Amino acid sequence: MDKNSPSLETHVASIRMKNPVMTASGTFGYGNEYADFIDLNQLGATVVKGITNVPWPGNPMQRIAETPSGMLNAIGLQNVGVDNFIEKKLPYLRNFEIPVIVNICGERLEEYEEVTEKLDGTHGVAAIELNISCPNLHCGGMSFGVDSKLTHQLVNAVREKTALPLLVKLSPNVTDITVIASAAADAGADGLSVINTLLGMAIDIKTRRPMLENVTGGLSGPAIKPIALRMVWQIYNTVKIPIIGMGGIMTRDDAIEFFIAGASAVAVGTANFVNPRAPLDIIDGIREYLEQNGITSIGALVGSLQT
Amino acid sequence: MQPYISDQPKKFDLVTKILANEQVAQDHYLLRCVCPEIAEGALPGQFVHVLISFESAMLLRRPFTIYSVEGDQITILYQLIGAGTEVLSHLSCGDLLHVMGPLGNSFRIPPNLDPAIVVGGGAGIASLMLHAAALRKLGVRTLGLVGSVNAARLLTVVDLEGIDVETHISTDDGSVGHHGFVTEVLTQILEQPQVHELHNPAIYACGPHGMLRAVAKISRTYRVPTQLAMENRMGCAMGVCLGCVCKIRTPDGGFEYQRVCTEGPVFDSEDIVW
């Protein structure tokens, strides 16, 4: 690479990434699914589908619905469980040089602890992303992330089980996200993933039935980008730990907005469903933007909003 | 039963120009485009995931079965069912599409199959055409049961007859063929194994959920191995969003949700939990 080309290298806590673009949990499987389209080594990092202590079957159909500039999902965290993940999915990801961040979830605090203990010290796991924001579980998930005391308690408990970098994925379904962000930071989080999906619903007016069997689901896609951006900006001005911005990032320009608002890195989610090369296109686009604007490193862009 | 090949072929995401997009029946269109890599690897039952609009307002791609493969071209046969297919039907020659494929598994052919019975309800017959063509090339006798709402919406009969598939038409309103459901024709045929020379039959079906459920029941009654091409709302078609699942029986007596886009779209009828 040209010696004068801008540096895309980023650190989120102690996670070193050669560029600031990751793939968001639940939108990129366990990596191998995209092998025909993407060289995983070109990503900044990948966050794998949410993992629980035992395999979860997930919710009944219908699980997804398209909405204007977005989609609703109520998958219900169908996953292979932590043991199968370590045995069957992680070996493939070890073939690559990028950090693998494991998103974990549970219904009870003890389940989060159990999964963390199994991942701690497992070769190939670079960090843990604590999912306290899944809107599709009847208990656990988001119920932790909408209460600052529960957030503090959970982050604190998991913090004691691992020395791995600990990211906390926040729910936007709260009155003041800075309160939850502060609670997570105080309890020892190393970084914050902002945001998970917004709780929404859609109705089939012919049948008067909900479009999702679960009735409600999580809204993602371009429709939520302005909200995600606002929350990144609010948290950047409140909490001092790094932010990974996500929510409706489809293009380079979307990603650049998040850096300016204060994100140290970004995650591409729903865009992967539409364009399997989206993360790579965005990485190329960021480099081009920095060059065009004479910015020498991505770090110089972070939080550079002019107000 | 054997798949056409053992491994899923490589997937491609191509930008292609529409060569033709013509109405072939009431509310049904046939779209043709050049997709060399997809055409080369495509197997009967597989589908493509098509980005119709480049505006984010209509975010997701739409899945369509590959209807036919001719040289480096593929066609898809689609029904107007919502905003996506409405926009698609208004596209013209030269307009661009992103076409990803070939995706999913394929139909399997048991040894000594005689005859194959393909059963299509509405646009479901589109999922069976490539398979019927492959079976005929292998010299397998094939019956084609084509069901439709009415004569105006009847699909593919000419194409099936062109490859010497013995077709049986049914319409809900009786405007052509049997007056009633395609599943009634299936039962009539299975009731007369001598007349139809059902030596070692297998059923392949695609269509509305209720029809497939009826086919599954009939195939159990007459003990005929049956494969169903399932459809569902789809997000990624890459196997990661887990949106398009189907409830599948597991050996322990339970069930699991399998992905229509990856483990399917073709499932053994016996494995599906309705």
Least confident among A63-77, A260-274, B5-19:
B5-19
pLDDT band, very low/low/confident/very high, at A139 (cuts 50, 70, 90): low
pLDDT band, very low/low/confident/very high, at A266 (cuts 50, 70, 90): very high
| CB atoms B238 and A65 under 8 Å | no
pLDDT of residue A133: 83
pLDDT of residue B1: 46
pTM (two decimals): 0.95
pLDDT band, very low/low/confident/very high, at A32 (cuts 50, 70, 90): very high
Which residues are within 8 A (CB) of B86 and not within 5 positions of it... i.e. 6 or more apart? B80
CA–CA distances in Å: residue B4 to residues B53, B104, B115: 33, 13, 18
| B71-80 tens-digit pLDDT | 999 999 999 9
End-to-end CA distance of chain A: 35
Q: What is the mean pLDDT of chain A?
A: 95
Q: What is the mean pLDDT of chain B?
A: 95
Compute CA A119 distance to the chain's CA centroid, rounded to the nearest angstrom: 18
Q: Which residues of chain B have pLDDT under 70?
A: 1-8
| CB atoms B238 and A250 under 8 Å | no
pLDDT of residue B247: 97
pLDDT of residue B6: 43
pLDDT of residue A142: 73
pLDDT of residue A288: 97
Instruction: Name the residue in chain A with its Cα closest to that of B257.
Output: A57
pLDDT of residue A184: 97
**A interface test, pick of B10, B236, B248 with most A CB neighbours within 10 Å:** B236
Rounded mean pLDDT, A223-252: 98
**B interface test, pick of A28, A66, A204 with most B CB neighbours within 10 Å:** A66
**ipTM of the complex as predicted:** 0.94
pLDDT of residue A138: 64
To the nearest whole angstrom, how far is the Cα of A238 from the nearest Cα of chain B?
32
pLDDT of residue B89: 97
| Residue A140, pLDDT above cutoff 70 | no
Beta strands in chain A (DSSP E): 10-12, 15-17, 21-23, 45-51, 64-67, 70-73, 100-104, 127-131, 166-169, 191-194, 198-201, 203-204, 209-210, 216-220, 243-245, 265-268
To the nearest whole angstrom, how far is the Cα of A25 from the nearest Cα of chain B?
10
| B92-132 tens-digit pLDDT | 999 999 999 999 999 999 999 999 999 999 999 999 999 99
pLDDT of residue A143: 81
| CB atoms A274 and B60 under 8 Å | yes
pLDDT of residue B204: 98
Instruction: Name the residue in chain B with its Cα closest to that of A28.
Output: B240
Share of chain A above pLDDT 90, in %: 93
Instruction: Name the residue in chain B with its Cα closest to that of A73.
Output: B243
Which residues of A are catalytically annotated?
Answer: 134
Task: Classify A59 as helix, strand or coil.
Answer: coil
Q: CA B163, CA B157: separation in Å to the nearest integer?
A: 10
| CB atoms A65 and B233 under 8 Å | yes
Q: CA A23, CA A30: separation in Å to the nearest integer?
A: 10
Least confident among A3-7, A244-248, B219-223:
A3-7
Share of chain A above pLDDT 70, in %: 97
Q: Is A124 on the interface with B (CB under 8 A)?
A: no
| Residue A4, pLDDT above cutoff 80 | no
To the nearest whole angstrom, how far is the Cα of B216 from the nearest Cα of chain A?
19
pLDDT of residue A218: 96
